[in-house]
Chains A and B, each alone.
Chain A
Amino acid sequence: MEDKRSELKKIIMDTKTLPTLPGVINKLNTLSDNNKASVQEMAKIVSSDQVLSARILRLVNSPAYGFYKVSTISNTMILLGVNVVKSLALSSSIFAIMENKSVGLWEHSLGVGVAANLLAHKLELPECEEIATAGLLHDIGKMIISLKCSEAERDILTLVRDRGIYTLEAEQEIIDTNHAEVGGWLSKSWFLPEKLMEPIAYHHDVAKSVNHRIKTSVVHIADVLVKASGFGNSGDRYVPEIQKIAWDTLKLNEQIMVELVDAIEDKLVEVRNFSLEMMAY
């Protein structure tokens, strides 16, 4: 069992085996470490890769952010910040596979992005865009498991179906780790900022999140809400339990939740249209 776990970790930490890490990212990393680099310069680098730019613009114009009609990379960088654009650039190749291979998971991820954004705005939290991005990326570990261990993925799905357990429990049993931990490894290997890494790695165990517990709580609640609404398909049939620590951290109450459910269901109509349009491409 231990073998499986370390094998998987090795695969993930070795970035070369992952779906293409665009060369643009390296240049972007060098530039963003340099305080003198301007947004325009960085936007120019991203824009030089047309496929990447198109993918980023598609994500930015998705209902998860709610801007609509952002048409240039430099506007995207100003609206979302360089770190978010970098994370989107890193994950866009995985999203591209996800859109085709597992539409259900893609819809679930978009839904959680939307729900996290709405919750963050409702609670007037800072950095709503980062929170929306963390929502979009929260299940990226599932994609990696599916890409790199398709056999294990099949066993996990069978176990979930036959025993009626949560995906998380099945993953633990088959690969001795779970998609949240895998997502955490991936975030580290990609040098994603900690404010994205914690929500990805701890959205099923909010108490472990130390420095960004508010963001992690938002993503946890958003995940539960989207599963409760039955939108998309995360692989889980059952709604996970709401963790009290997340509820308390965000000081939620019934009234907030009523308004939030209304707003989310309203917005999910748009998400469905968006994902149908995507598939038409």
Chain B
Amino acid sequence: MQKIPLMLAKAGMMLARNVFRGDSPVGMPICGKDTVLTDSLIRRLDQMDVQSVHVEGHPVWEEGERSLDDLLSELDQRFEKSLQNPLNAILYDIYRKHLTKSMES
């Protein structure tokens, strides 16, 4: 999941979270999670003052952003001292899968 400015949203991207009017997390959602964006939908959201949306995967790359390889090697470093603990090994695997999934475009 990635949070992107509405300006960078493109038709075909899938919403990962409900969209609320004026980006406020309270109140009625105006567009549901799992909706596939279309050009007309993006225009409508723009008219309703939505500034940013959460979309599935990692479709937009910004300058200076770390790659999956970087993230995974940082994860390895963080777990360097505790992997012999079976519970930490479970957590390590969960994070590895989570990072891989969240960076898939």
Give the B-binding residues of A (Cβ under 8 A).
68-69, 164, 166, 224-225, 227-230, 237-242, 244, 247, 254, 257-258, 261-262, 265-266, 269-270
Contact = CB atoms under 8 A, between A and B. Distances in A.
Interface in B56-105: 74-75, 77-82, 85, 87-88, 90-92, 94-95, 98, 102
Given A244-B87, A247-B87, A239 B78 contact: yes
B78 A266 contact: no
B21 interface: no
Interface residues of B, number: 24
Contact of B98 (A237, A239, A241, A261): A261
Contacts of B1: 266
A257 B98 CA distance: 11
A164 B88 CA distance: 19
A69 B27 CA distance: 12
Interface of B: 1, 3, 17, 25-26, 54, 74-75, 77-82, 85, 87-88, 90-92, 94-95, 98, 102
26 contacts: A68-B26, A69-B26, A224-B91, A228-B75, A228-B78, A228-B91, A229-B95, A230-B74, A230-B75, A237-B77, A238-B78, A238-B79, A238-B82, A239-B78, A239-B82, A240-B82, A242-B82, A242-B85, A247-B87, A257-B90, A261-B94, A261-B98, A265-B98, A265-B102, A269-B3, A269-B54
